[in-house]
């Protein structure tokens, strides 16, 4: 039996909408906002949400085709279209997102259970996941799957509440004023927790005080609020708003002038960290498996909340030792034998599994394998739970299931999947390890099963240096640039140079861009485009540097060459003469002042004459490139280039009697000259959230983090030489750390001699001596470190733009120099 959230007539009453089509008072068993995602229950309802990047009404037909028969639409939705759908319930409202919120608030009000609402600038998702894990050892607990904390994510998460749940943990994130007051009625928390306040996503607020005031609106319904008192602004704002009406429970790690409810003392030793938490009722000391400040703060939030609500300290200690630092999102990794691994090994419930399976379907079309552990602490009886699981896997066309655990093994006969294999434990799997080849593998399980050991056993070997690419940041940046453009302006995303260093094939980013409505992709060379085609990318792809010997391959893979000279056009003419080809799409590159590639103004008549003799050519676009769009000192020259471009493009269109796409703006051009966006723009480095003007940077999220680990720590005496050519001489007794990254990995020799710095435990540490091919040496004097400790080369918090300035280059160069032996991991 599937849980019923409500009935269609309940929705009508709650939203005061107008019924424009009705078949019956059907139950509502599932909320849907994305027609691409599979539905599991028999009576889903589709809300046609209108957003920056999409209009849900465009996908009603797709949702109907998938079997959905209940819809909430905008009251301006075309009545003639509504009439084409048979046997449906359709409700028209003034605002579909508001209707989704109204329904969710109505549904949430049915439940009386302790529910913790979490918000803040950083750490929300990690605190939520850890809190869920710790609480679920005693209670049947529900929480947001992954980071479903937005205006649409929260309603989907709250709809997962079921009568058997005993505890709820929900996070909420906002980026501007007015958002939290919409989310608070959906969550209706009984307790609140504020993680911290920082500069992340601050552009929507006047200052930090307003940001705190907006975020803590989540706590309107709370009886008790938990927070760290070490931030005076947080303490003052909470006290002013809630000090007289709610219980404020605080903790502090400082000897502050005012006493907190819990005093936390942290001691970091070489092999462990201890937290002593003292209150008026006693003191408890915990050993925790974390050493970085952010994780220590996050786990302290959890411990204070749980201790204050009566958790047994001894049980907490046992649970803490099983906690690990977790990624906030699913990660894509390269596996053995051309496999792709989706690592989602820190949560395991039906809701988050559905998210992971939908993500899996978005990857390249290969054999799909799921490695799944027992689902623990579910609010659903085992028999029904594993039947739902079997149905879900079948709907996603899973080819092979590898079950880990005694419970899923017990229900093995329920799974109608071509291949199934079951193991009682991870140890049994590793002993009898199945073979994997040319498949996408989702690994998902409860933390106690330690499925990360399985990931390690099937992951392609690589050294410890990793480039992480945050796909959420990519999507955020794309949305920002879209807001700067007219609704009709197309975007060509540049994925050349391994997508600015993010991957050897550019596939992961290209696939995400394809799903989010990009019109065109641009690559530098033919082989980059062919690789994308082989990975299943169907978007139009412009090749910027075609040559006469690869026209055949370009056309056979449906790529579109850039024609930047009359000589290249001659070569294409010869190619056409030798073959009876289909119409060939081309892009004309004009020389307007960059003086790199392009057809000059005095060559236009000859160009037109040649084109008129080649009717099989289809001119898709005419474009040029600005030489200095980022520098205001050259704005006069930029305007001159645009004038030349308009004149030349109009001349071609008039004489060829055509109308084509025109584009001249790159990332910085979009930001500084939106009046020249024409029909299309080319977005490159801006997608990655770097390389833009300092005034724009706060609006973007840097997408890449390059990190490594310490290989060895040594003590050197005053006068000792360090590294090749004895370039560094110790001027005092020093401690140095060797890290496994060198110029073969993209850490240029120019970083040596103290010019470049890396970040270890929040401290800037200079690179000393010469950078080697595979290693570099860092001054860590005075720090308590050990082998394996994390080293940040650059990240969102430690800007690659700043790093580039240190060595006199630009972020473009640093990104594209990252070697292909550096492992790439993609966070969804």
Residue 716: count of CB within 10 angstroms of its CB = 19
Q: Is residue 752 part of a domain?
A: yes
Q: Both 535 and 662 in a single domain?
A: yes
HSE, side-chain direction, 13 A CA sphere, residue 764: 10
Cα-based distances in Å from 14 to 46, 68, 119, 557:
16, 21, 27, 53
Look at residue 685 and tell me if it is in a domain.
yes
- 442-467 confidence digits (pLDDT tens): 999 877 788 888 888 888 766 678 88
b/e map of 66-104 (b: 16 or more CB within 10 Å)?
Answer: bebbbbbbbeebeeeebeeeeebbbbbbeebbebbbbbb
C-alpha span between 352 and 148 (Å, rounded): 10
CATH number, domain with residue 133: 3.40.1190.10
For residue 754, give both structure tokens. Answer: 């103290």
CA 789 to CA 234: how far, in whole Å? 32
Burial 458-475 (b: 16+ CB within 10 A, else e): bbeeeebbbbbbbbbbbb
- Helix 350-361 × helix 382-395 angle, to 10°: 10
20 and 149, same structural domain? no
Residue 387 lies in a domain: yes
Q: Among residues 38, 637, 724, 727, which one is catalytic?
A: 724
Residues 75 and 192 reside in one and the same domain = no
Whether residue 118 sits in one domain with residue 95: no
Domain count, the chain: 5
Query: For residue 397, what is the domain's CATH number?
Result: 3.90.190.20
pLDDT of residue 328: 47
H/E segment holding residue 30: strand 30-32
Confirm if 406 and 374 have CB atoms less than 8 A apart. yes
Alpha-carbon separation of residue 42 from 71, 138, 500 (angstroms): 14, 32, 44
pLDDT at 218: 97
Question: Domain of 781: which CATH number?
Answer: 2.40.37.10
Select from 691, 725, 757 the last residue of a domain: 691
The percent of residues in the chain predicted with pLDDT above 70, rounded, is: 95
**Of 460, 490, 519, which residue sits at a domain end?**
460
pLDDT at 53: 66
Domain limits for position 795: 704-809
Could you give the CA distance from residue 107 to residue 100 in angstroms, rounded to a whole number? 11
Can you state the percent helix, strand and coil of the chain, rounding each to 5? 35, 25, 40
Same domain for 34 and 65: yes
Do 157 and 189 form a contact (C-beta atoms < 8 A)? no
Count, residues in the chain: 828
d(CA 667, CA 686): 6
588 and 675 belong to one structural domain: yes
**Pair 746, 803 in one domain:** yes
**Which CATH number covers residue 46?**
3.40.1390.10
The whole-angstrom separation of Cα 211 and Cα 204 is 8
pLDDT > 60? residue 586:
yes
Residue 333 maps to a domain = no
SS (H, E, C) 477-493: HHHHHHHCCCCCCEEEE
**HEC secondary structure over 1-12:** CCCCCEEHHHHH
Query: What is the pLDDT, as a whole number, of residue 202?
Result: 65
DSSP reduced 3-state for 771 = coil
Whole-angstrom distance, CA of residue 680 vs CA of residue 662: 6
β-pair type (115-119, 167-171): parallel
- Distance CA(494)–CA(625), nearest Å, equals 13
Q: Would residue 215 show up in a list of annotated catalytic residues for this protein?
A: no
Of 355-364, 495-504, 610-619, 800-809, the poorest mean pLDDT is in: 495-504
Residues 6+ apart with CB under 8 A from 357: 38, 370, 392, 393, 396, 398, 442
Task: Say if CB 783 and CB 763 are below 8 A apart.
Answer: yes
Token pair 């559905």 is found at 354
Phi, psi at residue 667, to the nearest 5°? -55, -55
| pTM for the predicted model, two decimal places | 0.71
Element (H, E) at 467: strand 466-470
Same-domain check for residues 218 and 126: yes
Which residue has tokens 């084109």? 611
Tracing tokens 């799921």 back to the chain, one arrives at: 370
Residue 817 within any structural domain of the chain? no
| Residue 480: inside a domain | yes
Q: How far is CA 369 from the centre of its chain?
A: 23
Do both 665 and 714 map to the same domain? no
The pLDDT tens digits for 383-422 are 888 998 998 898 888 999 999 999 999 999 999 999 999 9
Per residue in 666-721, pLDDT tens?
A: 998 999 999 999 999 999 889 998 888 888 888 888 889 999 999 999 999 999 88
Is the CA virtual torsion 631, 637, 642, 645 positive or negative? negative
* Nearest-angstrom CA–CA distance, 90 and 107: 20
What's the mean pLDDT in 269-282?
84
Tell me the average pLDDT of the chain.
88
Got the DSSP string for 698-727?
GGS---EEEEEE--EEEEE-TT-EESGGG-
Residue 297 sits in the same domain as residue 431: no
- 172 lies in the same domain as 304: yes
Of residues 488, 541, 389, 465, the one with CA closest to residue 705: 465
Say which residue, 272 or 725, is predicted with more confidence.
725
Token pair in block for residue 250: 């605080």
Q: Tell whether 427 is covered by a domain.
A: yes
Q: Which of 635, 636, 650, 535 is nearest to 590 (CA)?
A: 650
Residue-wise burial string across 368-404, b where 16 or more C-beta atoms lie within 10 A, e elsewhere: bbbbbbbbbbbbbeeeebbebbbbbbeebebebbbbb
CB 485 within 8 A of CB 681: yes
Query: Can 724 be counted among the known catalytic residues?
Result: yes
Which carries the bigger pLDDT value, residue 350 or residue 642? 642
Q: Last residue of some domain: 101, 119, 138?
A: 101
The catalytic position among 444, 496, 589, 662 is 496
| CATH number of residue 669's parent domain | 3.20.20.10
Dihedral of alpha carbons 610, 611, 612, 617, sign: positive
Q: Please report the sign of the dihedral spanned by the C-alpha atoms of residue 396, residue 401, residue 402, residue 404.
A: positive
pLDDT more than 90, % of the chain = 52
pLDDT tier, 324 (very low <50, low <70, confident <90, very high otherwise): low
pLDDT tens, 459-517?
876 667 888 888 888 888 998 999 899 989 999 999 875 555 455 445 778 888 888 88
Q: What's 683's DSSP letter?
A: E
pLDDT confidence of residue 504: 46
- Euclidean distance between the first and the last CA atom of the chain, given in angstroms as a whole number: 32
Distance CA 110, CA 124 (A): 26
Residues 494 and 684 sit within 8 Å (Cβ to Cβ): yes
- Alpha-carbon distance of 642 to 324, in angstroms, equals 54
Measured distance CA(433)–CA(453) in Å, rounded:
12
Let me know if residue 825 belongs to a domain. no
Residues 491 and 426 in one domain: no
User: Which residues are within 8 A (CB) of 254 and not within 5 positions of it... i.e. 6 or more apart?
Assistant: 230
Give me the mean pLDDT over the 292-319 stretch. Answer: 91
CA 280 to chain centre: 43
Closest C-alpha to 542, from 517, 518, 523: 523
Predicted confidence band at 336 (pLDDT cuts at 50, 70, 90)?
confident
Report pLDDT digits (tens) over 54-89: 788 988 999 999 899 999 999 888 878 888 888 999
């Amino acid at each position: 039996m599937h849980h019923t959230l409500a009935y269609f007539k309940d929705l009508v009453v709650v939203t005061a909408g107008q019924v424009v089509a009705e078949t019956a008072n059907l139950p509502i068993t599932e909320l849907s906002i994305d027609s691409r995602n599979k539905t599991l229950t028999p009576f889903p309802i589709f809300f046609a949400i209108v957003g920056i990047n999409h209009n849900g009404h465009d996908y009603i037909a797709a949702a109907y085709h998938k079997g959905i028969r209940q819809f909430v639409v905008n009251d301006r939705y075309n009545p003639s279209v509504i009439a084409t759908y048979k046997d449906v319930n359709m409700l028209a409202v003034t605002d579909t997102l508001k209707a989704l919120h109204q329904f969710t608030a109505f549904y949430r009000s049915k439940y009386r259970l302790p529910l913790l609402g979490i918000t803040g600038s950083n750490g929300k998702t990690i605190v939520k996941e850890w809190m869920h894990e710790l609480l679920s050892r005693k209670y049947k607990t529900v929480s947001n799957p992954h980071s479903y904390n937005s205006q649409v994510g929260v309603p989907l998460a709250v709809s997962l509440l079921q009568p058997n749940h005993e505890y709820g943990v929900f996070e909420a994130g906002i980026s501007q004023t007015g958002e939290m007051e919409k989310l608070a009625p959906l969550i209706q928390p009984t307790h609140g927790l504020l993680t911290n306040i920082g500069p992340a996503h601050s552009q929507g607020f006047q200052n930090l005080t307003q940001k705190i005031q907006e975020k803590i609106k989540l706590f309107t319904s709370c009886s008790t609020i938990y927070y760290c008192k070490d931030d005076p602004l947080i303490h003052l704002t909470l006290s002013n708003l809630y000090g007289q009406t709610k219980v404020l429970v605080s903790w502090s790690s400082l000897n502050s002038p005012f006493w907190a409810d819990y005093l936390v003392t942290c001691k970091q030793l070489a092999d462990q960290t201890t937290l002593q938490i003292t209150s008026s009722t006693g003191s408890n000391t915990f050993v925790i498996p974390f050493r970085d400040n952010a994780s220590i703060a996050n786990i302290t939030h959890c411990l204070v909340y749980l201790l204050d609500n009566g958790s047994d300290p001894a049980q907490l200690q046992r649970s803490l030792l099983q906690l690990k630092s977790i990624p906030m999102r699913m990660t894509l990794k390269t596996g053995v034998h051309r496999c792709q691994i989706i690592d989602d090994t820190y949560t395991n419930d039906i809701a988050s599994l559905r998210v992971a399976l939908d993500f899996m379907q978005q990857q390249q079309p290969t054999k799909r394998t799921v490695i799944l552990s027992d689902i623990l602490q579910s609010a659903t009886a085992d028999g029904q739970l594993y039947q739902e699981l079997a149905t879900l896997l079948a709907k996603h066309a899973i080819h092979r299931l590898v079950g880990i655990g005694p419970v899923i093994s017990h229900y093995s006969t329920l799974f109608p999947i071509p291949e199934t294999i079951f193991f009682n434990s991870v140890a049994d799997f590793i002993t009898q390890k199945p073979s994997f080849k040319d498949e996408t593998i989702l690994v998902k399980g409860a933390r106690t099963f330690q499925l990360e050991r399985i990931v390690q056993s099937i992951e392609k070997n690589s050294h410890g240096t990793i480039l992480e690419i945050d796909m959420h940041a990519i999507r955020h940046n794309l949305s920002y640039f879209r807001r700067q453009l007219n609704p009709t302006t197309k975007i060509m995303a540049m994925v050349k140079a391994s997508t600015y260093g993010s991957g050897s094939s550019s596939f992961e980013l290209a696939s995400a861009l394809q799903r989010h409505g990009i019109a065109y992709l641009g690559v530098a060379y033919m082989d980059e485009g062919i690789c994308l085609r082989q990975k299943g990318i169907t978007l139009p792809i412009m090749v910027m540097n075609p040559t006469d010997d690869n026209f055949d391959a370009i056309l056979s893979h449906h790529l579109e060459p850039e024609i930047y000279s009359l000589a290249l056009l001659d070569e294409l003419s010869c190619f056409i003469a030798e073959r009876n080809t289909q119409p060939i799409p081309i892009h004309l590159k004009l020389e307007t002042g960059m003086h790199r590639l392009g057809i000059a103004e005095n060559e236009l008549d000859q160009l037109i004459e040649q084109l008129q003799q080649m009717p099989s050519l289809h001119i898709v676009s005419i474009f040029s490139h600005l030489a200095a769009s980022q520098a205001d000192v050259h704005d006069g020259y930029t305007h001159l280039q645009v004038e030349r471009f308009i004149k030349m493009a109009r001349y071609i269109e008039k004489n060829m009697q055509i109308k084509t796409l025109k584009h001249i703006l790159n990332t910085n051009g979009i930001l500084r000259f939106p009046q020249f966006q024409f029909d299309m723009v080319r977005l490159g480095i801006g997608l990655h959230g770097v390389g833009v003007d300092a005034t724009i940077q706060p609006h973007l999220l840097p997408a890449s983090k390059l990190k490594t680990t310490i290989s060895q720590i040594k003590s050197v005496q005053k006068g000792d030489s360090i590294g090749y050519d004895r370039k560094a001489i110790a001027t005092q007794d020093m401690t140095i750390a060797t890290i496994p990254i060198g110029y073969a990995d993209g850490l240029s020799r120019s970083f040596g001699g103290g010019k470049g710095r890396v970040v270890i435990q929040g401290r800037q540490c200079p690179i000393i001596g010469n950078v080697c091919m595979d290693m570099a040496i860092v001054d860590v004097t005075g720090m308590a470190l050990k082998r394996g400790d994390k080293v940040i080369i650059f990240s969102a918090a430690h800007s690659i733009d700043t790093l580039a300035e240190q060595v006199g280059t630009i972020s473009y160069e640093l990104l594209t120099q990252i070697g292909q032996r550096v492992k790439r991991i993609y966070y969804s």
